[in-house]
Structure 1
């Protein structure tokens, strides 16, 4: 009976130990939660770095386009050859669109910082995701419109009597081409930003 009682006592203790380990389950999960928070904070830091790079590329695109202007050296007082971005509506739209995109990116920096400080908050991340999609659409349309004009400036179009002007206005074409390249850098950066936001929001569920 004594050994049987001891066995019963041992069984009860083992049972309670098992229950205790189950009770400590949520405590053991705390480091995992902290690890997820660290991952989200790391993604938010990458988002901030990419967003800062997109500001530089968008501003470079707008500034380069806005200063694209060239006069040919052979002109008189009454007649001259000039190429300027404001001669073409597509380039004007490009300048306005990229300026708006750059302004939005600057305003989005505080929300990106909030995402670093509070990595588990989904509100700022969701807002950035929606606005990034809108900005991506605007930047893509501006880059596409400007690209078509740059292509015509370099190659012309015999069917519609568009003459290639880059042989004469080399500096102008280099500037607008550089602006278009910078705008596509902005577009690609926005794609990564949207992907990061989507992954961060997915981690919340």
Structure 2
């Protein structure tokens, strides 16, 4: 008889839990959307121009940094879809705070990967836009503005995904505090 009473006392209220689950699902949908859009934009960014009779081609695949950025967003998108499926399918059944700790680790790793890609792409984008006169690197965005604009949009969308993953990591860390050791 005491066993059934103690089980009822340990269950958290369902309304805040459903609100939290709905928020997580919404944020994961947004993260998936932003990483997918960022991936699509960077993969389709290319421009060919002719300068002084020379044809200049700008593509994401010519830069290892932009390749890393594209792959980071692809991986982030895939893991966003995976975590969205796990949150929506298992979220209704499992109330264990240990699952929030695992989601915290997941969100933190994806956020770090996306942030590394964004930081690298931002650095190369800055050099592409403004050049580096001490090293002799000339700005190229004056010559291929369409390419630079698409890369900038892709990086901005990816930074939005980083912010969303930061929020998800904070929410998951907060919920994992309830783990009983």
Fold in common (TM above 0.5) = yes
Task: Output one character per residue of 1:71-98: Cα deviation in whole Å (capped at 9) or x when no partner.
Answer: 115586xx41111111111001111111
If you compute each CA radius of gyration, which structure gives the higher value, 1 or 2?
1
User: Unpaired runs of 5+ in structure 1?
Assistant: 1-22
Describe how 1:26-105 pairs up with structure 2 within 5 A.
33=11, 35=13, 37-73=14-50, 79-105=54-80
Q: How many residues align?
A: 177
Shift of 1:199: 1.7
Partner of 1:11: none
Partner of 1:106: 81
What is the SS of the residue equivalent to 1:125?
helix
Shift of 1:123: 4.0
Task: Output one character per residue of 1:87-110: Cα deviation in whole Å (capped at 9) or x when no partner.
Answer: 111001111111011011111122
Among 131, 151, 164, which residue is 1:189 paired with? Answer: 164
Deviates more, 1:79-88 or 1:123-132: 123-132
Determine if the alignment matches structure 1 residue 176 to structure 2 residue 151. yes
User: Unpaired runs of 5+ in structure 2?
Assistant: none
**More helix, by proportion:** 1
Counterpart Cα distance in 1 of 2:57 and 2:130: 19
Shift of 1:113: 1.4
| RMSD after superposition | 2.4
